[in-house]
Amino acid sequence: MDLNLTSKRVVVVGASRGIGLAIATLFCEEGAEVTLVARGREALDAATAALTGRGLRAHAVAADVSVEAGARAAVAEAVSLMGGLDVLVNNAGGSLGSRRFDEATGTEWSAVLDLNLMATVWASQAAVTQMKQQGGGAIVHVSSICGREYCTTSPYMTAKAGVIALGKEMAVSLARHNIRVNTVAPGSILFDGGSWDRRAQSDPARIEKMKREELPFGRFGTVTEVANAVVFLASSRASWVTGACLTVDGAQGRAL
C-alpha cells in the first residue's frame, strides 16, 4: 500500500534509537524528509548519518524537549531545515526510575511529567502553529500501555495517561484546522540497548517468566511493529482516523 508520504516533512522527537529511530527510518523509506530530534548529539548524528548514507533525506537537531524552550526551538529548527512541517511524532519519554505515588519525590514527578507529557505539549504547540499556516497536518503521540493499564511507576503511568487524554482533546479542537491527532500505546518492546534488553541480560530467568505469564504471544514486541502503526496513522490512508489510541502490545494489556 502506498502511504502517500513522498516528500512529506516529518519531525520525530526521541529518534536517536529504539522506537523513535525505527519510526524515523520507516518514514524515510516511505519517501519522507525527516528531522530526528534527541538530546544526545553523538547517537543522534550516528543515526542520521546511517540514514543519509543510504541516500535517504534526514536531518539532526539536538535538543532537550523536556524544557519548553528546547522543544519549541527544535521544531522551529526542523521547520527551517525542511521548509515546513506535515507530520510530528512525539516519542520522547521514560520512567526515569520513578516509583509508586507515595514514594516518588516532587523532583521525580516533575522530571517524568516534563519528559513524557509536557514535552509533548510544547512540541505540539509549536508544530500546530506551523500546520495551521499550511492548512493541515498529522500528529502522533507515543504513549504506553502504562497509560491505559496498571503500572507500578506512578509518575510514568500518570504522564502516559495524560498523553492519551491530550491526544483526544487535540483531535477535537484541531479538526477544524485539518489537523489529525492520534496516539499509539506500545506494550513491552525489545531492542538492543533498551531497558528490556538490559533486564534480559541481568535477569534472564525473570524475563523468561514474563514471556510465559504476561506476554500472550510468548515474545516481546519489536520497534518495527510500533513504527508500522505510527507511520500508518500519520499517513493519508488514515484520513478519517483521529482521536484514537491504538494499542500495540500483542494483548499484553489484557493479560496483566
Nearest by Cα to 171 from 216, 141, 147: 141
Q: Is 156 a catalytic residue?
A: yes
Find the domain containing 43 and state its range: 9-186+221-248
Q: Give the DSSP letter of residue 116.
A: I
Average pLDDT over residues 85-111: 89
In a domain, 209, yes or no: no
**Model confidence pLDDT, tens digit, residues 40-54:** 999 999 999 999 999
The total domain count for the chain is: 1
In a domain, 194, yes or no: no
Average pLDDT over residues 118-136: 98
**Model confidence pLDDT, tens digit, residues 169-213:** 999 999 999 999 999 999 999 998 878 788 878 888 899 999 999
Q: What span, in angstroms and rounded, lies between the C-alpha atoms of 160 and 142? A: 9
Q: Is the dihedral of CA 17, 20, 22, 28 positive or negative?
A: negative
Q: Which one from 122, 156, 220, 232 is the annotated catalytic residue? A: 156
State the CATH number of the domain containing residue 62: 3.40.50.720
Q: What is the pLDDT of residue 91?
A: 98
In a domain, 130, yes or no: yes
How large a percentage of the chain has pLDDT more than 70?
99
Q: Where are the beta strands (DSSP E) in 81-229?
A: 87-90, 137-142, 179-186
Q: What is the pTM of this model?
A: 0.95
In a domain, 192, yes or no: no
Q: What is the pLDDT of residue 256?
A: 61
Query: 246's torsion region: left (phi>0), alpha (psi -120 to 50) or beta?
Result: beta
User: Beta strand 179-186 with 245-248: parallel, antiparallel or unpaired?
Assistant: parallel
In a domain, 159, yes or no: yes
DSSP string, 170-187: HHHHHGGGTEEEEEEEE-
In a domain, 201, yes or no: no
In a domain, 139, yes or no: yes
Q: What is the pLDDT of residue 255?
A: 61
In a domain, 145, yes or no: yes
Residues 10/32, Cβ–Cβ less than 8 Å: yes
Which grid cell sits at 79?
Answer: 521547520
